[in-house]
Amino acid sequence: MSVPNHFWLLIEDNNTTAAVVRKALEDKPIKYAYIAHPNDGLPCNGWSQYNRAFDYIRQNRDRFDPNAVVYLGNDNDAYGLDLFEQYVRPVKRIGVWPVGITNYLLQLPRVSNGNVVGFAKTLKAANHLGVYFGGFAFHISYLLYNNVKLTTDCAGLYGEECLLKQLKISMEDYEPYGISATKQNVQMWRRTTPTMFNRNFPKFGYLTDTVPAYEPIRHEMCERFRSIYKMTKSEAKEAAAMINQTWDPAVRIPPPEPVWDIYYISGMR
């Protein structure tokens, strides 16, 4: 692979892993673990999967170098290879760097005399914890000695903020990368995928997102839960209960019929 000496921990947001992903991993000379772990009543932006990854690292600490660095990637994001070699690998405490968000918005650390003093152009609250998950990496010791979890107790905070508070991160711990007086280099971009409920199209044998029959209701609940940073803890717990109830297979909505006539691919219909 293009990034040497790394361990790839993949958490599938599903009840089972995907055969095509397993096959792709088996063909690569890399160290990895591939685990299925569905959402369990938490915001639909990877919180359950992050928790499972944290547990795996703590339970298998002997598999990791004591000076390893933890980076939380996401399948919705795009990365430059320099991110891993020039930003992530040198981290001693917690590294932060510029992040591109949906085409033109940027979030980047403000640096004075080599120290991070805040963040600019951020979409989140204007405080020193206002970073996006893909915009930081931290020394493994922070995780091994703090039993962090993203739960409904994070209500009123962004997920990143809740995580970093539990890791006991302070402003002095931040190490800036990808930003200097002469060069500001974005190596990580947050991509946006359009929402489309009726995705029961032919897949021609390729792997695509698995869309449950109850996707419209799931989307509604996920969107409601996405604003957990505006909720109280009691409101978050109520939303979690609604999501768990809605996702019961007994209340699934029948899937739509396949649609063939709205596109044309290289002479195939």
Q: Does residue 46 form part of some domain? A: yes
Give yes or no for residue 185 having a pLDDT over 70: yes
Q: Does residue 214 form part of some domain? A: no
Across 169-177, average pLDDT: 90
Across 167-190, average pLDDT: 82
pLDDT value, residue 66? 93
Give yes or no for residue 88 having a pLDDT over 90: yes
Q: Does residue 202 form part of some domain? A: no
Q: Does residue 149 form part of some domain? A: yes
pLDDT value, residue 126? 44
CA atoms within 13 A on the CB side of 106: 12
Give yes or no for residue 261 having a pLDDT over 70: no
**CATH number of the domain bearing residue 237:** 3.90.550.10
Residue 187: pLDDT band with limits 50, 70, 90: confident
Number of domains in the chain: 1
Give yes or no for residue 106 having a pLDDT over 80: no
Q: Does residue 11 form part of some domain? A: yes
Give yes or no for residue 121 having a pLDDT over 70: no
pLDDT value, residue 267? 44
- Provide CB contacts within 8 A for 50, sequence distance 6+: 11, 72, 150, 159, 163
Of 221, 183, 206, 203, whose CA–CA distance to 263 is shortest?
203
Residue 259: pLDDT band with limits 50, 70, 90: very low
pTM: 0.79
Query: How far apart are alpha carbons 110 and 193 in whole angstroms?
Result: 29
pLDDT value, residue 177? 92
pLDDT in tens, 217-246: 566 667 777 788 889 999 888 888 776 665
pLDDT value, residue 169? 87
Give yes or no for residue 62 having a pLDDT over 70: yes
The secondary element (H helix, E strand) that includes residue 216 is helix 215-225
3-class DSSP assignment, residue 266: coil
Give yes or no for residue 170 having a pLDDT over 90: no
Give yes or no for residue 15 having a pLDDT over 60: yes
Query: How far apart are alpha carbons 265 and 195 in whole angstroms?
Result: 21
Q: Is 160 a catalytic residue?
A: yes
- Given 160, 161, 175, 215, the catalytic residue: 160
Q: Does residue 189 form part of some domain? A: yes
Tokens at residue 235, please? 């409101």
Full residue range of the structural domain in which residue 135 is found: 6-194+219-267
Q: Does residue 246 form part of some domain? A: yes
Q: Does residue 238 form part of some domain? A: yes
Query: What percent of the chain has pLDDT above 70?
Result: 72
